[in-house]
């Protein structure tokens, strides 16, 4: 099970949604969020931060280590928290869960008219979308 949590970036102009795998980590494990607009003004600390295509997630590593005592890895890092899903984007990037719904809206109309073509187009959309997101540099797109 994953819990969804949304938060605003430091400058307040953007927001991101996070998933917390198995509810191991509380939302407080994220001590700061910086969008591309506000991330350039902060010093980057790789021991507590993760960069993803202009966004920076700042983790409270004390909270992460305390709450992560039950996790399989003894080395809790920002990369581990993000890549293993314990505190990661809901989707491939910060607003993916809402953007993908809008992108699929036209395809869904096709499902009522021509189901076979809908399946073909949906598959094509998914493959091309992940290729695009990987080219843009999103960390979770590189996993696939």
CA angle 2, 3, 4 (to 5 degrees): 120
- Say yes or no: 82 and 120 in one domain: no
Place of tokens 């399989």: 72
CB half-sphere exposure, 92, CA atoms < 13 A: 19
Evaluate if residue 100 carries a pLDDT over 70. yes
> Given a cut of 90, is residue 41 above it in pLDDT?
no
Domain count, the chain: 2
- 65 shares its domain with 135: no
Q: What is the pTM of this model?
A: 0.90
Which residues fall within 8 angstroms of residue 121, CB to CB, at 6 or more apart? 107, 110
Q: In this structure, are 52 and 107 located in the same domain?
A: no
Question: Could you list the residue range(s) of the whole structural domain that residue 105 is in?
Answer: 96-141
Does the pLDDT of residue 25 top 90, yes or no?
yes
Contacts of 75 (CB under 8 A, 6+ apart): none
74 and 124 housed in the same domain: no
> Residue 144: its pLDDT value, please?
54
Give the mean model confidence (pLDDT) for residues 88-101: 93
Query: Do 76 and 115 belong together in one domain?
Result: no
Residue with the bigger pLDDT between 103 and 137: it is 137
Query: What percentage of the chain reaches a pLDDT higher than 70?
Result: 96
Q: Report how far residue 113's alpha carbon sits from residue 118's, in angstroms, rounded to the nearest whole number.
A: 8
């Amino acid at each position: 099970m994953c819990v969804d949590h949304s938060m605003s970036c430091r400058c307040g102009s953007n927001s991101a949604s996070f998933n917390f795998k198995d509810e191991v980590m509380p939302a407080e494990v994220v001590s700061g969020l910086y969008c591309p607009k506000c991330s350039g003004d902060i010093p980057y600390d790789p021991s507590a931060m993760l960069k993803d295509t202009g966004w920076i997630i700042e983790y409270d590593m004390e909270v992460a280590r305390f709450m992560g005592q039950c996790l399989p890895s003894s080395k809790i890092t920002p990369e581990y928290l993000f890549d293993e899903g314990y505190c990661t984007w809901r989707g491939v990037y910060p607003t993916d869960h809402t953007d993908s719904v809008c992108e699929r809206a036209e395809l869904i109309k096709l499902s009522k008219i021509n189901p076979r073509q809908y399946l073909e187009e949906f598959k094509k959309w998914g493959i091309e979308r992940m290729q695009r997101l990987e080219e843009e540099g999103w960390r979770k797109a590189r996993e696939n």
